[in-house]
Amino acid sequence: MRLRCAVLDDFQQVAKEAADWSSVTGEVDVVSFDAHLPDEDALAAALADFDIVVTLRERVAFPGSLLTRLPRLRLIVASGMRNSVIDYAAAEAHGVTVCGTASSSAPPVELTWALLLGLARGLVRESNGLREGGPWQQTVGADLHDRRLGLLGLGKIGSRVAQVGLAFGMRVSAWSQNLTRERADEVGVELAPSREELLRTADFVSVHLALGERTRGLLGPAELALLKPTAYLVNTSRAAIVDQDALLAALHEGRIAGAGVDVFDTEPLPPGHPMRTAPRLLATPHLGYVSQANYATYYGQAIEAIRSYLAGSPVRRLPAP
């Protein structure tokens, strides 16, 4: 019997074009889903007849309760080498192998700067005005040179964001709970003495932390109140690091100049969600990892994982040691 592989959240219908699937299609039928499956019941119904699932990032959770309802499932390939929404113990108990892929930090760095620059120079408002016959010049851009960029997190992504900020002539400072002066010196940025001081002094704040118990809700009402009224906040990391209600309140009340957001509490964002219409918000539909090179890696290595699994030697198994 031929195997069946489901490719989830292939919104642009490019999974089969991004890589060459011919090495597995002799044994595997590949079916892509261009619409998000929103809950466990929908997933259980849609995936009941599939042996393999390819899933992007952490958008779709695979708890034990779902895996129990998918007795045919034998392999999950998730893009990236870290996934917090798969129950690995349940997967092992149900005989499901989980594999990952490489993932480049370059695309989220680039999108971070697209959002930051778009906010600073009012690009959406100015472009729409020009196209629609509106006023000639409506905004006065915020300068980057000699302004302070505050980074929450200085890992692979945060450090690359820092380098771009330095190239713009910005004064860059960083903070995280484990950040050392040695690491800050290595990147060439200042170590902020505290999270509060970073928020009080920054003209632009960008979030580059992994989501965990210590970072969930890290920026709540009290922390957002520390930002200057002229400051901008950018979050391309995880929505839950920033209190969403507090952010919406700050935007509606004009307590910060604006925010650039690529991540949301529910994805895809439902119609009518307040984030879709919030003022002073430049929002994108989680495009941080969405690039031609990353998709070629994701799907190319997913194919490799399927081929290796079929040969009895799975590669890049998760959780990674």
* C-alpha R_g of the chain: 21
Candidate list 267, 273, 280, 307, residue with the active-site label: 267
Report the first-to-last Cα separation within the chain, whole angstroms: 34
Structure tokens at 265: 């509490």
Candidate list 147, 160, 208, 238, residue with the active-site label: 238
**Measured between alpha carbons, how far is 144 from 120 in angstroms, rounded to an integer?**
8
Candidate list 57, 148, 160, 286, residue with the active-site label: 286
For residue 39, the cross-strand partners are none
267 is catalytic: yes
238 is catalytic: yes
52, 5 contact by CB (below 8 A): yes
162, 211 contact by CB (below 8 A): no
316 is catalytic: no
Environment class of 84 (CB within 10 Å of its CB; exposed 0-12, middle 13-18, buried 19+): exposed
Please enumerate in sequence order all residues whose Cβ is within 8 A of that of 32, keeping only pairs 6 or more positions apart, or say none. Answer: 6, 7, 10, 13, 15, 16
Active site residues: 238, 267, 286
